[in-house]
Structure 1
């Protein structure tokens, strides 16, 4: 796994993000690549953005929304990774990306975990608002990323900001 810190001083625009995901879905269709997600902090937003484009059923295999630690473990994230590194870590994000890619036999797995606007009461010692970890697994090659988001006005705005960061890193690896 490679740890990359993503630029944290950006403006995010919903229309641009939605258009980027239309481009991504079309690129996946063109390349014949399948994709899946295991999302915690974004609670299915990435999957939703991918499937907003007509024809996405050709490339989108399914997704897991694993909001609590137990759900991540049930879907294949080793409990030892969460125990050792915390749920908010590049290691957990990487394990999430691997687990969903394997579960759906997809080319690409996206794992995302982190804290949006407030401290997680179930994981208060590891939860820092604005810190998000995500990983992209392409055919077994996993890269993990860390981003510190500036305060956003809504939960949706946080989810879209993370989606944009994931989009940018995934496209770099696909083109």
Structure 2
């Protein structure tokens, strides 16, 4: 069972640290549908470090907002390369210090990208001006799409904490 309140409280703690350190952050989310943004903005004062986010559920939305169509064609929409392009596009769009890009499949096969869609396989990237790191995680079967999203958010936060330690 996914402990959503625990994940929410961990994001609040993390966001308070970003505010204290004046580290701006933004997201381009696909499979999490804006959950990461929501978790960050649950913290009072988060507007000091969170300018906005992009929910790009379709391939066309990703392309319109800065992900090269060649990246999606060559590597698929579900890839570390696409997640990197999403993170960089989000960071550039909002002129943030950190950009996060998330793509993957939660629960069922995506009919628009069926050949590359694997339920529970999530790709994400974290980007700063100095570096971009990408990750692939495979989540065990969950009871709901919301559980997949929260579990992905928890895994992303683990990497975000490590990423921001050096900033």
Deviation at 1:15, TM superposition (A): 1.3
Q: Distance in 2 between matches of 1:36 and 1:140?
A: 16
Q: Distance in 2 between matches of 1:66 and 1:167?
A: 20
After the TM superposition, which segments of 4 or more aligned residues of structure 1 sit over 4 Å from their partners?
A: none
Aligned 1:20-59 pairs, distance under 5 A: 20-59=10-49
C-alpha offsets along residues 146-169 of structure 1, whole Å, 9 cap, x if unaligned?
000001111111110110011000
| Alignment RMSD (CA, Å) | 0.9
Q: How many residues align structurally? A: 165
Aligned 1:14-163 pairs, distance under 5 A: 14-163=4-153
Which has the larger helix fraction? 2
Deviation at 1:139, TM superposition (A): 2.4
Structure 1: gaps spanning 5 or more residues: 1-10
1:12 and 1:164 in contact (8 A); partners too: no
Q: Distance in 1 between matches of 2:137 and 2:46?
A: 27
Which has the larger strand fraction? 1
Alignment TM-score, normalising by the size of structure 1? 0.92
Q: Distance in 1 between matches of 2:21 and 2:48?
A: 11
Distance 1:22 1:89, change over 3 A: same
Structure with higher RCO (Cα < 8 A, 6+ apart): 1
Structure 2: gaps spanning 5 or more residues: none
